[in-house]
Amino acid sequence: MNEETFASERLLPCGHRVGELIGYHLDGFSSEFAEHLRGCPHCRAELDEIARRWQPVRRLARTRVVPSDDLVERTLTTLRGLRDRHGGDPLELSQEHGTLRIQSPATLTLTRRLSTEVLADFPGMAVRSCLVTDDAVRVDLVATYPAAAHELLPEIHRRLTAALHDFLGAGTPELSVRLVDVAAPRDGTEQ
């Protein structure tokens, strides 16, 4: 751990901890601490430095955030993918000693894991959600610009279907792979 980790415990020459000053800066303190601040050059200097460091945080906190138009839809899609509300029929695999039933949440978990593994070979592509629709397991992807996502989708679909088939054999569900979003480059520059 570095020195910054324990900065709030650091004692100033006057005997007060830096954490007290951070608390004062954020929430205010008793009038007796305010009285101490007026006469203590160590605390005043430290408080000035804390205020300087917190300026960007406070400026960002005042920034009005406008949610994207599709935020609710994206959130619900993700939640459906994490917790299958369709409750679809279990996948049934015939085996030597009977039938194995695999519930939809297990299929989704496997699909999500395999999608992440397959996408490791496709820089700039990531899983947004996995969910069960009426006729398929749907995998929604996000591409980071300038990934040639539409050109990659058939190969991603082929590899993911093969990976699922390795686990589920003839019981592999229909698979739908869609591009649902394009994200800006991580460094913020367009290429």
The residue among 15, 31, 22, 26 whose CA lies nearest residue 49 is: 22
Question: Would you state the structure tokens that stand for residue 88, as one six-digit string?
Answer: 């679809």
Provide the residue-wise pLDDT of the chain in tens; the chain has 191 residues.
Answer: 344 444 777 888 988 888 888 777 777 666 777 788 888 999 889 888 888 888 887 787 788 877 777 777 777 766 665 554 445 566 666 667 777 666 666 777 888 889 999 989 888 888 888 877 766 788 888 888 777 777 888 999 999 999 988 887 777 778 889 888 888 776 644 44
pTM above 0.85, yes or no: no
10 with 38: CB under 8 angstroms? no
Residue 36 confidence (pLDDT): 84
Residue 155 confidence (pLDDT): 93
Give the CA dihedral 38, 43, 47, 50, nearest 10 degrees.
180
Residue 3 confidence (pLDDT): 42
Give 176's strand partners.
138
177 with 153: CB under 8 angstroms? yes
The rounded distance, in Å, linking the Cα atoms of 42 and 3 is: 19
Domains, the chain, ranges and CATH?
A: 3-62 (no CATH), 71-183 (3.30.300)
One-letter amino acid for residue 181 of the chain: D
Buried b (16+ CB within 10 A) or exposed e, 85-111: eeebeebebeeeeeeeebebeebbebb
